[in-house]
Amino acid sequence: MSENTSTLENPDQPTAAPEDADPNEVLFTDFNLDGRVLAALTDVGYEKPSPIQAATIPLLLEGRDVVGLAQTGTGKTAAFAIPALSRMAELPATKSTQILVLAPTRELALQVAEAFSSYAAHMDNFTVLPVYGGSPYGPQLNGLRRGAQVVVGTPGRVIDHIEKGSLDLSQLQYMVLDEADEMLRMGFADEVDQILSRTPAEKQVALFSATMPPAIRKIAKKYLNNPAEISVKSKTSTGSNIRQRYVQVMGAHKVDALTRILEVEQYEGVLTFVRTKIATEELADKLKARGYRAAAINGDIPQAQRERTIEALRDGKIDVLVATDVAARGLDVERITHVVNYDIPHDTESYVHRIGRTGRAGRTGDAILFMTPREKYLLRAIEKATRQNVELMNLPSVDVVNNNRLQKFSERITQTMESEDLSIFRDLVEKYEADHSVTAVEIAAALAVMAQGGQKLLMEELPQAPAKQARLAKGDRDGFSSRGPTRTLTEGNATYRIAVGRRHRVMPGSIVGAIANEGGLTSSQIGGIDIRADHSLVELPADLSKDQWRALSKTRIGGELIQLELDKGRKPRSEGGGGGGGFKKDFKKREGFKKDFKKGDSYGARKPRHQS
């Protein structure tokens, strides 16, 4: 089977097609699934089966052997787990092992076990046990002794347990070879063969794989009984008018990452995709709380209301729409400049559909994908499907965000002066100036604070992952702060000196802004900034071009020529007096932050790091 929806559908297609518009649409409720399994699917928030699930679940429920081929990330786990659990649920309760899944790695075994547990959440006295090599036998033996209806294991360790007599497969009903191609690539052919030959003849077998090399065909022929072969192919391409980027970010930091991106990207309408209906509401609420004009659409929201929401997006009454795949199908709103894949889509086909919601009517569009390091393997598949590069995007730094906020604030002042009648307030300010003998600047500053209505204008610090905070704190104790900034330079960067410092009232934001604009650098190329009394040190690429040098030598900040030069290792001056620590600390934070990104680490990943 292959999904025959084309990629960029009719540009003249009307607004969001309602999901009930497609009579061929399959829902989980269309299958004869056990009620407890269905309830669990509602809990995890899956809206509808993925193509491989839609094709294989009915066959597996019937008891057929199945070979399921679909690329990574298409939901193959649920394709075999849901029917397996549903069938078990109908059998008399037992403690013996009924389902055995073989997976190539410990990581995958754990993932599959986790998925099984979540789909079995409503089944009482039901145990899913992962068994894998490289960890002590004790807990696994105990688990097996207590009884586990589902065992998910790596082939080597499963054989060990069979041989030890700790894994009894005599009651096995259902056997799955998951990621079969990977299992063979890892050299488990013999083990898989052995395990299969030691299982009861009467059982159902499912084999899932991304590809079908001859070795797998051989296994399928030998151990599967007249299997149905299901292959879900994706045939997709995207318009090259869409720029694709990805950001590495862990779940807990996604909201922050999104708002930071929204602070600096030039957007009109943003369509943000999440995986579940609940998540649409949750994210829209969080964005609203942060001052964005956001709304959610999902399959539970009545059609009429969904249409009103889409109309509001079209009219510019809202800017950020948070949607599920189903609710956003066919959405055609020219104003969508950005598609954010907040949750990674479950196949490349959905990805292509999602990003096709921008770049409409001959315009260009931006697609931004959030992914965890675990999901990074999906990038290649996406690049292949879209025949286009997906660039790494660094999250905008605090300085860049703040620079932007200052600029926007200034713009608001200009606009107000141009469009509003100021006379009453002008009189008030004049009177206040005379009565209190303060300058108009001070009054304006006070009014600006009032205009902010209690909100801080500038972002203060980078949200740090706990691990990172600990590391920074450790750095302090290690005397990190006494080292010159060059000690922690990112590879390929150098430290430059500019002739403006605290005396000139420069802020990191104005330095980033000036250097980025004049030197044609991206903000991500600008590293740590250390503002000192009468000069500052800035980390920039070591290989600035002649043009960049020329442009930067003419650059002014606050009216002063910056006189860019390479810092020749002058001893950092001792700052003396008070107030010196703030920026230094700031520098260090930037430094740590950027270094992490440069290394391709993820924002917030808890990864042990060498202490330099």
From residue 334, alpha-carbon distances to 10, 308, 313 in Å are: 14, 16, 10
Closest CA to 168 of 114, 117, 100: 100
**Residue 451: exposure state from Cβ atoms within 10 A (0-12, 13-18, ≥19):** middle
Nearer to Mg ion, 76 or 260 (CB): 76
Binds 277: which of Mg ion, ligand ADP, none (CB < 5-8 Å by kind): none
Q: Which does 155 bind (CB under 5 to 8 A by kind): Mg ion, ligand ADP, none?
A: none
Give least dist CB 35 to ligand ADP, A: 18
Q: Give 285's contacts (C-beta < 8 A, 6+ positions apart).
A: none
Identify whether the C-beta of residue 271 lies closer than 8 Å to the C-beta of residue 358: yes
Q: From Mg ion, ligand ADP, none, which one binds at residue 275 (CB under 5 to 8 Å depending on kind)?
A: ligand ADP
CA gap 69, 245 in Å, rounded = 28
Choosing among ligand ADP, Mg ion, none, which partner's interface includes residue 216 (Cβ < 5 to 8 Å by kind)? none
Residues numbered 412 to 471 that lie near Mg ion (CB under 5 A) are none
Kindly state the smallest distance separating residue 104's Cβ from Mg ion, in Å.
10
Closest approach, Cβ 223 to ligand ADP, in A, equals: 20
Q: How many helices (H) and strands (E) are present in the chain, helices listed first?
A: 21, 20
Q: How far is the CB of 108 from Mg ion (least distance, A)?
A: 7
From ligand ADP, Mg ion, none, interface partner of 583 (C-beta below 5 to 8 A by class): none
- Nearest approach, Cβ of residue 271 and ligand ADP (Å): 18
Q: Which of ligand ADP, Mg ion, none binds 74 (CB below 5-8 Å, type-dependent)?
A: ligand ADP
Shorter beta-carbon distance to ligand ADP: residue 276 or 563: 276
Binding site for ligand ADP (CB under 6 A): 46-47, 49-50, 53, 70, 72-78, 275, 346
Adjacency order of strands within the sheet including 269-273: 294-297, 320-323, 269-273, 336-341, 365-371, 242-248, 391-392
| Smallest distance from ligand ADP to CB 22, Å | 16
Least Å distance, CB 289 to ligand ADP, is 26
Taking residues 314 to 353 in sequence order and writing x for each that binds Mg ion by CB under 5 A, - otherwise, the string is ----------------------------------------
**Between 212 and 533, CB nearer to Mg ion:** 212
Residue of 454, 448, 446, 460 whose CA lies nearest to 412: 448
Half-sphere exposure of 208 (CA within 13 A, CB side): 28
User: How far is CA 358 from its chain centroid?
Assistant: 19
- CB of residue 62 to ligand ADP, shortest distance in Å: 20
50 binds, among ligand ADP, Mg ion, none (CB under 5 to 8 A by kind): ligand ADP
Residues 49-78 binding Mg ion (CB under 5 A) are 76
The H-assigned helical ranges of 122-253 are: 137-146, 155-164, 180-185, 189-197, 214-223
By CB atoms closer than 10 A (0-12, 13-18, 19+), residue 26 is middle
Nearer to Mg ion, 64 or 76 (CB): 76
Burial-class residue 105 by CB neighbours within 10 Å (0-12, 13-18, 19+): middle
Looking at the Cβ atoms of 11 and 213, the one nearer to ligand ADP is 213
Residue 113 and residue 128 in contact, taking contact as beta carbons nearer than 8 Å: yes
Residue nearest to Mg ion (CB): 76
- Indicate if the alpha-carbon torsion angle 378, 77, 278, 128 is positive or negative: negative
Cβ atoms of residues 209 and 68 within 8 Å: yes
Residue 293 phi/psi, 5-degree rounding, is -85, 95
What, of Mg ion, ligand ADP, none, does residue 337 touch, CB below 5 to 8 Å by kind?
A: none
CB of 75 to Mg ion, least distance (A): 8
Binding partner of residue 237 among ligand ADP, Mg ion, none, CB cut-off 5 to 8 Å per kind: none
Chain contacts with Mg ion (rule: CB under 5 A): 76
